[in-house]
C-alpha cells in the first residue's frame, strides 16, 4: 500500500524541513518519493494543510491503579461527560481508556507516556494501556521510595547492585524508563514525616533525597536507558520551592536528568500573599544546565483531579479538595494521593500558577529541552492542549486571557512583559522531535524516510486552538485514523519498553526478597504478553548499551 500526501506545508524540524512538499508512506513507514514513477494506491490532497509527525506526550497520567481510582471516585466527572455539549471542558476529560485514545488521536497525538506506575501494579497499568485505542503508549516505573533500593543504599551496596535492580525492574514491568517521586519523602511519610527536602534523611535508611536521585540517575544512565531519570522533586507546590528545583538541577552535575512539571516548582515567597513567580530564576537555571530537560505542567482553569504519587504533598493538600473527598494510599514501594481540585481564574494562587507555566515556556529558550505537558490531569486535562498552543503562539490571545486574571496576581509575575510567540517549527520541536529524542524513539517525531507513518495534518486558521483541537487528517502507522477531528478507524497500538540485560543473580535475589518480605513470588508483577489479549501488544526500544 503506497500512500501519497500532496502539497502539505511540511514542518519537520528534525530533518530541517519547513516547506511545501509531499510525503509518501509504504505500509507503516514513511519512504522517500518513489523514483520509478510508481502510482500511489491512495492520494490525499493536503494543499493548505500543515503536516507534522504525530505528537508525543512524555508525561500524562492516563492509566493505572491511581488514575482508575480517581475515575471510580469521581462519577460526577462522567455525568458531565455524558450529558453536556461537546464544547465544555468536563465533557472532554477523556476519562475512560477508550476516550483517552480517541481524544489524543483527534488532536494528532500518536504516542503518550504514563509516567507513574508502582512496580507492583505494572500489569494493571499495561492492561489499561492495551485498552487505549489508536495511540502507542509507554509507562515509567517508580523507584526510590521502595524498601529494596533504600535498603541497598543503607547497607552501602555497590552502584552495580542498584543498577542491576533498576534493570530488573525495567524488564519485569516492561517500562520505558524510571521515575522517582519526592525521593525518600514518600517512604518517610510512612514514618509520619510530613515534609521532606532534598537533603533531608529518610528515617532508618539514613539516605537523603539527593543520594537517591543521584544513585538512580547514574544507574539509568549506565544501563543506557535512553530516557534519563524522570524526577518529581520535593516540596511540590510550596512557596519558595524554586530553590528546591535549583538545588536538584545543580545536582545533575552534567549527567542527563529530567525534571517533571516544573511549573509546580516555580514559586517564590514575595508579594502581598507570600506567593509569587520565581519562573525567571528557574528558567535561567534550566537554560544554563544543558544536561537537564524539563516539562512544564501548565495549569488551566476549571475542574480537574490531582493524581500524584507524592503522598506527602497530596496528604497536605487534602483540605483543599473540591469536591471534598480524597484518597491517600501508602503503597508497596510507593503511594498515591487523589485530590479533586478546581483551578479558578479569580484565585490569586491559581492565577500565579497559570502565569508561572507560561513564563517557563516563554523564558526557557531551547525548545529541545522544555516539554509540553499539563501533567494531565494535575494542571489541566490534556484536552486543554489546544488552548495552550494558542497561548504560546499568539501574544494577543495571551493578553486576552490575562485581562481576566487578578491584577494583583499578575503583579508578582513577569508574564505581561513577555512578547515571545512560538513558531510552528518550535511547536513541532517541543511536541514531536524533542520528545522522540528524549525517549530514544528514532522512528518517531519526524517525517524522514524510515520514520513510522504517524502523521498529523492540521488546517491552519485564525483560531489556533481549533486547528490543534481537530486535526484534519491523522495517520497512525500509515493508516488513516482521523478525518476532520473525528476518529474514522479504531485500532490498537503498542506499549514501548526497554529490554535491558538482567543479571541472573538479581533475579534470584528478588525472588528471595519477595518471598521473605511479602510472602509472594517475585514474578507476581510480571507482564506476560499472553495476559494482554491484543495482537502484538509490545514493542522493544533499544538501550544504548
Partner 1 sequence: MSLKDSTGVEAAASIDGAPASLAAAAAAAARLLTQSGQPLIAGLGADIDGARAAIALAERVGGVIEHTHSAALMRDLNSMRETGVMLTTPGEARVRADVVLLVGDGLTETWPGLAERLLTAPARPEGVDVGRRIVWLAPKLDATIPGFVGDIEIVAAGLGSTLAANLAALRARIKGRPVAQARIPPPALDAFAGVLKAARFGVAVWTAASLGALEIEMINGLVRDLNETTRFSTLPLAPGDNGAGVLVACGWIAGFPMRTGFGAGAPVHDPWRFDAERLVASGETDCVLWISALGAAPPAWLNAANVIALCEPTTQFTKKPNVRIAIGRPGVDHDSVLHSPDAGTLVAVTASAQSATLSVAEALQRIGACLAETRAPPC
Quote the least distance from Cβ 384 to partner 1, whole Å.
19
Instruction: Look up residue 263 and give its DSSP letter.
Output: G
Half-sphere exposure of 497 (CA within 13 A, CB side): 26
Q: Closer to partner 1 at the Cβ: 324 or 508?
A: 324
Q: β-strand 177-181 against 230-232: which pairing, if any? A: parallel
Q: β-strand 17-26 against 29-31: which pairing, if any? A: antiparallel
In three-state secondary structure terms, 55 is strand
Q: Closer to partner 1 at the Cβ: 79 or 508?
A: 79
Quote the least distance from Cβ 518 to partner 1, whole Å.
5
Q: Closer to partner 1 at the Cβ: 82 or 504?
A: 82
Q: Closer to partner 1 at the Cβ: 3 or 171?
A: 171
Phi-psi region of 208 (alpha: psi -120 to 50; beta: other; left: phi over 0): beta
137: which strand partners?
A: 112, 495
In three-state secondary structure terms, 190 is coil
Rg of the chain taking only CA atoms, in angstroms: 22
Which residues are CB-contacts of 64 (< 8 A; sequence separation ≥ 6)? 114, 116, 117, 121, 124, 125, 128, 139
In three-state secondary structure terms, 262 is helix
Q: Closer to partner 1 at the Cβ: 17 or 77?
A: 77
Quote the least distance from Cβ 231 to partner 1, whole Å.
24
Q: Closer to partner 1 at the Cβ: 23 or 527?
A: 527
How far apart are the C-alpha atoms of 8 and 53, rounded to whole Å?
12
Quote the least distance from Cβ 525 to partner 1, whole Å.
8
In three-state secondary structure terms, 496 is strand
**Contact between 297 and 264 (Cβ < 8 Å):** yes
Q: Closer to partner 1 at the Cβ: 290 or 521?
A: 521
Q: Which residues of this protein are in contact with partner 1, per CB under 8 A?
A: 63, 65, 68-69, 71-75, 77-78, 81-82, 95-99, 120-121, 123-124, 127-128, 131, 133, 147, 151, 189-192, 204-205, 315, 318, 321, 324-332, 490, 517-520, 524-528, 530-531, 533
The cell for 113 is: 507516556
Quote the least distance from Cβ 126 to partner 1, whole Å.
10
Q: Closer to partner 1 at the Cβ: 338 or 409?
A: 338
Quote the least distance from Cβ 124 to partner 1, whole Å.
4
Q: Closer to partner 1 at the Cβ: 78 or 483?
A: 78
Quote the least distance from Cβ 220 to partner 1, whole Å.
25
Quote the least distance from Cβ 379 to partner 1, whole Å.
21
Quote the least distance from Cβ 339 to partner 1, whole Å.
9
In three-state secondary structure terms, 499 is coil
- Concatenating the DSSP letter of every residue in 50-64 gives EEEEPEEES----SS
**Contact between 524 and 514 (Cβ < 8 Å):** yes
Distance of CA 264 to CAs 34, 197, 259, 279, 324, Å? 49, 15, 11, 10, 22
Amino acid at each position: 500500500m503506497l500512500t501519497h500526501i500532496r502539497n502539505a506545508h511540511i514542518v519537520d524540524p528534525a530533518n530541517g524541513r519547513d516547506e511545501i512538499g509531499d510525503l509518501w508512506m509504504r505500509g507503516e513507514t514513511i519512504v522517500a518519493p518513489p523514483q520509478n514513477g510508481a502510482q500511489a494506491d491512495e492520494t490525499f490532497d493536503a494543499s493548505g494543510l500543515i503536516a507534522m509527525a504525530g505528537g508525543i506526550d512524555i508525561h500524562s497520567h492516563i492509566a493505572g491503579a491511581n488514575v482508575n481510582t480517581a475515575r471510580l471516585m469521581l462519577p460526577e466527572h462522567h455525568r458531565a461527560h455524558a450529558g453536556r455539549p461537546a464544547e465544555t471542558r468536563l465533557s472532554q476529560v477523556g476519562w475512560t481508556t477508550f476516550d483517552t485514545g480517541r481524544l489524543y488521536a483527534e488532536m494528532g497525538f500518536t504516542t503518550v507516556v504514563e509516567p507513574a506506575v508502582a512496580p507492583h501494579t505494572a500489569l494493571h497499568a499495561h492492561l489499561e494501556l492495551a485498552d487505549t485505542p489508536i495511540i502507542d503508549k509507554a509507562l515509567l516505573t517508580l523507584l526510590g521510595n521502595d524498601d529494596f533500593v533504600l535498603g541497598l543504599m543503607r547497607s552501602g551496596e555497590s552502584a552495580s547492585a542498584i543498577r542491576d535492580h533498576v534493570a530488573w525492574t525495567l524488564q519485569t514491568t516492561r517500562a520505558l524508563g524510571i521515575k522517582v517521586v519526592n525521593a525518600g519523602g514518600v517512604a518517610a511519610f510512612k514514618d509520619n514525616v510530613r515534609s521532606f527536602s532534598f537533603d533531608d534523611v529518610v528515617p532508618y535508611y539514613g539516605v537523603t533525597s539527593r543520594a537517591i536521585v543521584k544513585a538512580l540517575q547514574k544507574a539509568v544512565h549506565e544501563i543506557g536507558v535512553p530516557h534519563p531519570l524522570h524526577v518529581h522533586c520535593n516540596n511540590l507546590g510550596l512557596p519558595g520551592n524554586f530553590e528546591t528545583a535549583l538545588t536538584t538541577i545543580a545536582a545533575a552535575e552534567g549527567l542527563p536528568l529530567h525534571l517533571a512539571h516544573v511549573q509546580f516548582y516555580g514559586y517564590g515567597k514575595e508579594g502581598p500573599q507570600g506567593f509569587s513567580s520565581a519562573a525567571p530564576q528557574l528558567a535561567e537555571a534550566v537554560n544554563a544546565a544543558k544536561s537537564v530537560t524539563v516539562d512544564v505542567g501548565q495549569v488551566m482553569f476549571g475542574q480537574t483531579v490531582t493524581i500524584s504519587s507524592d503522598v506527602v504533598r497530596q496528604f497536605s493538600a487534602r483540605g483543599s479538595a473540591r469536591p471534598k473527598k480524597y484518597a491517600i494510599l501508602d503503597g508497596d514501594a510507593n503511594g498515591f494521593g487523589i485530590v479533586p481540585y478546581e483551578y479558578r481564574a479569580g484565585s490569586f494562587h491559581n492565577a500565579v500558577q497559570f502565569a508561572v507555566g507560561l513564563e517557563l515556556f516563554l523564558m526557557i529558550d531551547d525548545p529541545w529541552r522544555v516539554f509540553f505537558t499539563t501533567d494531565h490531569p494535575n494542571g489541566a486535562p490534556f484536552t486543554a492542549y489546544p488552548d495552550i498552543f494558542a497561548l504560546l503562539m499568539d501574544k494577543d490571545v495571551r493578553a486576552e486571557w490575562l485581562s481576566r486574571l487578578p491584577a494583583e496576581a499578575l503583579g508578582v509575575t513577569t508574564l505581561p512583559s513577555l512578547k515571545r510567540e512560538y513558531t510552528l517549527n518550535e511547536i513541532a520541536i517541543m511536541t514531536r522531535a524533542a520528545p522522540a529524542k528524549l525517549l530514544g524513539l528514532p522512528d518517531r517525531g519526524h517525517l524522514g524516510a524510515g520514520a513510522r507513518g504517524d502523521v498529523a495534518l492540521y488546517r491552519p486558521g485564525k483560531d489556533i486552538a481549533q486547528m490543534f483541537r481537530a486535526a484534519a487528517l491523522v495517520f497512525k502507522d500509515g493508516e488513516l485514523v482521523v478525518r476532520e477531528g473525528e476518529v474514522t478507524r479504531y485500532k490498537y497500538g503498542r506499549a514501548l519498553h526497554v529490554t535491558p540485560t538482567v543479571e541472573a543473580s538479581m533475579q534470584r535475589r528478588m525472588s528471595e526478597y519477595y518471598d521473605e518480605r511479602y510472602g509472594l513470588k517475585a514474578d507476581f508483577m510480571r507482564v506476560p504478553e499472553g495476559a494482554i489479549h491484543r495482537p502484538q501488544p509490545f514493542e522493544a526500544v533499544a538501550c544504548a548499551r
